[in-house]
Amino acid sequence: MVAQPNAQVVRLGVLGHGVVGSAFVKLVTQQSDQILARSGVRLEVTKVCVRDAKKKHNLPKGAVLVTDSNGLVQSADVDLVVELMGGIEPALKLISESLGKHKPVVTANKALLAKHGVELFAAADAASTDLLFEAAVCGGIPLIRPLRESLRGEPISRVMGIVNGTTNFILTKMSEVGADYSVALAEAQKLGFAEADPTADVEGHDAAAKIAIIASIAFGTTVRAEDVYVEGISKLTAADITIARKFGYAVKLLGVAELDATTSMVSVRVHPALVALNNPLAAVRESFNAVLVDGESSGSLMFYGRGAGGEPTASAVLGDVIDAAINLRKGTHALLGAFKSTKLKEMSAINCEYMIGLEVADKPGVLHAVTGVFARNGVSIRAAEQDGIGEDARLVFLTHDANEAAVQNCLREFKSQDVVKHVGALLRVVANS
């Protein structure tokens, strides 16, 4: 340890010592001298709170293992709280109490911020202290700070991206080796990307929490996970992906937050989307994440990297901890800004191009019957393709720009048509180039 007479010590209390917590404690210990040399602040982990103190935990010298989370927050030996326990309660209560005691908080808690973020941001501002949360969205990728600071003056029109690594891994396998969804999911589980219960990832809820936080910061509006329109990837087939590729698109699960310039409403959604093969998002493979931000003056910016994992996430936590520690010693804090409570744009009001697949009987008049449905609903066809013959015929349509409600009407009509055996995946074109 390097001695520095003017070092300002900031004592850290860490709530949680799981994958991220233990990686953070290790990283902060390793980097301590370098942080001191570059910032003048010495970070010391004084307390680490765990649920089960009987398990083996490797802690740095001087750090005490505790099980009383409330005691950690209240402790006179803790200046800054690092919340890495996850979940809503008791994390909400503990963070609120820390802020109430003017102790800065750094958290990676996506679920909590996607539900209570705006009230916690207000509590931090009211206490004139920091609540920083880079690690809550896309692990090791710096995204929140660029949105919050670097792009503060930038009118943002859209933020969209691959914010879930598990589903990107599954879609990569389905696309590159033609694996069925269930085979690709089993591989993701075997490699430890997907949980035993994969629902939160594959049904899009994890991505919804992330895009809710991103949208709140990018547009200064209150967006909660429950406000986000969500569709997952569990109904996609390898055939949907193959046909999309024939039309020049990759299939990606995207989180999209988009400003409608006419109504000033923001649409926030998660769904499988068609991305033109020459769009940089199409090249994001395996479990990587990437987010594209479109600003009026900045143009398109892309943020790419590891969206999960102990070490990448710990790196994001540490960056925030150093900032909050410096701010604490300077008696200042980051500005999170004001958040409007505005109505979000309804999903039924969005407009885009769509790919629709129908399994049909292959006989005269079927195409006429099906295209009649599009015509009656004012949906114009850009391209069509037939796959297979006889009993296995499949018609795939790519529409021009169309309204979601009109397309949903078409789907309802197709489902009631005798000639349509099955209505397949509905894929929205999000990025044409």
Q: Which residues are near ligand HSE by CB under 6 A?
A: 164-166, 201, 206, 307-308
58-67 CB burial, b ≥16 within 10 A, e <16: ebeeebeebe
Q: Which is nearer to ligand HSE, 127 or 215 (CB)?
A: 215
Q: Which is nearer to ligand HSE, 154 or 203 (CB)?
A: 203
DSSP for 118-179, written as a single string? HHHHHHHHHTT--EE-GGGSSTTS--HHIIIIITTTS-EEEEEEE--HHHHHHHHHHHHS--
Beta bridge partners of 43: 10
Q: Which is nearer to ligand HSE, 165 or 424 (CB)?
A: 165
Q: Which two tokens stand for residue 243?
A: 């046909």
Give the closest residue to 360 by CA, choosing from 329, 397, 405, 335: 397
In the complex, what is the shortest distance from the CB of residue 58 to ligand HSE, in angstroms, rounded to a whole number?
A: 24
Q: Which is nearer to ligand HSE, 206 or 353 (CB)?
A: 206
- Report how far residue 207's alpha carbon sits from residue 220's, in angstroms, rounded to the nearest whole number: 19
- Report how far residue 12's alpha carbon sits from residue 429's, in angstroms, rounded to the nearest whole number: 46
- Report how far residue 242's alpha carbon sits from residue 161's, in angstroms, rounded to the nearest whole number: 21
Q: Which two tokens stand for residue 251?
A: 């299939």
In the complex, what is the shortest distance from the CB of residue 165 to ligand HSE, in angstroms, rounded to a whole number?
A: 4
- Report how far residue 314's alpha carbon sits from residue 139's, in angstroms, rounded to the nearest whole number: 8
The answer to whether 110 is a known catalytic residue is no
In the complex, what is the shortest distance from the CB of residue 138 to ligand HSE, in angstroms, rounded to a whole number?
A: 8
Q: Which is nearer to ligand HSE, 275 or 358 (CB)?
A: 275
Give the closest residue to 60 by CA, choosing from 10, 15, 113, 24: 24
Q: Which is nearer to ligand HSE, 124 or 290 (CB)?
A: 290
In the complex, what is the shortest distance from the CB of residue 20 to ligand HSE, in angstroms, rounded to a whole number?
A: 10
The answer to whether the Cα torsion of 354, 279, 134, 261 is positive or negative is negative
Give the closest residue to 218 by CA, choosing from 155, 164, 163: 155
Beta-carbon neighbour count of residue 225 at 10 Å?
23
Q: Which two tokens stand for residue 268?
A: 């926030």
Instruction: Single out the catalytic residue among 47, 103, 173, 210.
Output: 210
DSSP 229: E
Give the closest residue to 4 by CA, choosing from 35, 50, 45, 49: 35
In the complex, what is the shortest distance from the CB of residue 47 to ligand HSE, in angstroms, rounded to a whole number?
A: 26
* Residue bearing tokens 């505005």: 342
In the complex, what is the shortest distance from the CB of residue 96 to ligand HSE, in angstroms, rounded to a whole number?
A: 23
Active-site residue list: 210
